[in-house]
Amino acid sequence: MFSTDRHPIGYACQRAVGNIRGMVIYPSGCGRLFTGFCLVLLASCSKLAGPDYVRPELPEKAQWSELSGREITTSEIIQPDWWKGFNDPQLNELIQKAIDEGLDLKIAAARLDKAGIALEKDRFPLIPNIVLAPTESITASKEEDGDATTSRESERLGAGLSWEIDIWGKIRKGVKASEAGYKATEMDWRAAYLTLVSSVAERYFQIRLFDEQISHQIASEQQNKELLAIYEAQYKEGLIPRTQILKQKSELNSLKKQLLDLQRSRDEAELKLATLLGMPAGDLFIPVGNLRESIDLVEVPAILPADLLSRRPDVLVAEYGVLQAHHLVGKARLARLPTISLSGSAKTGESLYSTLLNTWSFGLAQSFAPMFDRNLKIDVKSNEADVRIAIEQYRKAVLNAFEETEIALLNLDSRKQQMQELQDQVGYLTVVHGVQQSRLKEGLMSQLEVFETERTLLAAKQGILTQYQQLLNDTVTLYKAVGGGWPTEYVGDQNAPALQSKPSKDPAAE
């Protein structure tokens, strides 16, 4: 330690720095030994924290089952605002409202803000910590008569400095780990964004499905009412028994029940959509529309992106988890090396506003204790175990990504074939139903045969609508499976773009 009294601040600091410099350059005894040891370690410091980060080995994916042709990048087939490909202004408006007001996205954004604040705090140890505080010298005494007196003798301004010199890079490793954690939280925000947009689209498709199914159900109900009127006229003329009228009324009851259930399901979907948009359930009103007339099917190309793993937010979250664990291992290893700390303190003269230093001191301290700390040795093993866990979690996320993409492709291909079969079925049944209606009016066919044909025809029409909605949902699922419109993310790449403090509002901005 070095100290002096009543020197100007500039001269005092210059003297202090000179003494510290002298201590480092001209060591003796333990200081010389420590300096030599540090130089040897510094010569190999690039190996102290372990090897550089390398993406873990992953299961190979040679090709996609339902596709053939060259692989391309996501940006060639998926636009950032991919939902606009359905050509429905109502859908575009709802998704934009969800992005602006959806609570799930706001929660994810708040978590990202918190992660950014924590990252700023983790960077504090990179610079010296300086504390300024006014101090007073107070004296208490007791006179012979028993009266206590207190006097304030002087007023001072105190300053303290402490700094662990990051000679090995331990603190920088910790900051890198925190940056990886921040990026993982940003990927969580992207995942929340993609999930919200997909959920709004799927819920809207469901509402439009119910709209058209209700329309078909009402039309079928009207046809059966007309048929009931015919039966009632025939009954008055004594041509049919009363039981035939009762059967027709029973059929109408069944159709009305189904209609009520469809209307209930439609209202429920609208209530759930309101919550996704950040609105109280019941405050949202979606005008009645037609599924196939208002929403276009998007033709998915017979090729799939090759950069799937660099765009899916959940996969990137898992890989950033591996990167964070990797840096924490390096930090734990470096924590076992000797430490060098700089400390200092100073006080002004008797006046708080004095420009003179009353006392000051600076010092360097080194410690070999971390080298023999068993807890730090265990920390290294524990962090290495975390790396192994993170790697397996990453591989699992990759396999899940492959699975979801394959299932989406499988469903799209299968539903297209089913749609064609249903359309053919409806065509045949429509012809049959027309002939049966004519023969029924002439009394040449039983009512039961007509009922069976009508039920089958209605079910086939509703099936076409369901398949259409599923095709829309599967398209959304595929876009979600390949990461939506987010740009490629560089994990652990030194050539990656600089770390942003906050992600863009939407993928189009990136």
Dump pLDDT digits (tens) for 129-157.
777 666 655 555 555 565 655 555 555 66
Cα separation of 328 and 321, whole Å? 11
Of 357 and 178, more confident: 178
DSSP 493: -
Q: What is the mean pLDDT of the chain?
A: 77
Cα separation of 330 and 380, whole Å? 8
Q: Give me 490's structure tokens.
A: 């560089």
- Least confident segment among 239-248, 253-262, 461-470, 483-492: 483-492
Write down the domain spans for the chain.
44-58+78-140+149-300+307-336+373-488
pLDDT in the model for residue 141: 58
Cα separation of 417 and 411, whole Å? 10
Predicted confidence (pLDDT) per residue in 157-212, tens digit: 677 778 788 788 888 888 999 999 999 999 999 999 999 999 999 999 999 999 98
Q: CA dihedral defined by 334, 337, 342, 343, rounded to 10 degrees? A: 100
pLDDT in the model for residue 10: 35
Find out whether 334 and 166 touch, Cβ atoms under 8 Å.
no
pLDDT in the model for residue 22: 35
Predicted confidence (pLDDT) per residue in 270-320, tens digit: 999 999 999 999 999 999 998 888 898 887 765 555 567 788 899 999 999
Query: What own/partner pairs with CB < 8 Å and gap ≥ 24 does 78-83 have?
Result: 78/305, 78/479, 78/482, 78/484, 78/485, 79/485, 80/484, 80/485, 80/486, 80/506, 80/507, 80/508, 80/510, 81/485, 81/506, 81/507, 81/508, 82/479, 82/484, 82/485, 83/197, 83/201, 83/476
Proportion of the chain above pLDDT 90, given as a percent: 27
> pTM here?
0.75
The residues, ordered by sequence, that sit 6+ positions from 170 with a Cβ below 8 Å of its Cβ are: 331, 334, 335, 337
Three-state SS for 371-409 is HHCHHHHHHHHHHHHHHHHHHHHHHHHHHHHHHHHHHHH
- Give the CATH architecture of domain 44-58+78-140+149-300+307-336+373-488: Up-down Bundle (1.20)
Angle of CA points 193, 495, 51, to nearest 5°: 100
Maximum distance among all Cα pairs of the chain, rounded to whole angstroms: 132
Cα separation of 38 and 54, whole Å? 28
Q: Which of 243, 224, 246, 208 is nearest to 471 (CA)?
A: 208
Above 50 in pLDDT, residue 376?
Answer: yes
pLDDT in the model for residue 501: 40
- Least confident segment among 216-230, 334-348, 408-422: 334-348
Q: Which of 246, 218, 212 is nearest to 232 (CA)?
A: 246
Of 34 and 109, more confident: 109
Find out whether 315 and 74 touch, Cβ atoms under 8 Å.
no
pLDDT in the model for residue 77: 59
Q: Where are the alpha helices (DSSP H) in 66-168?
A: 74-77, 89-101, 103-122
Give the residues across from 347 on adjacent strands.
158, 359
pLDDT in the model for residue 8: 31
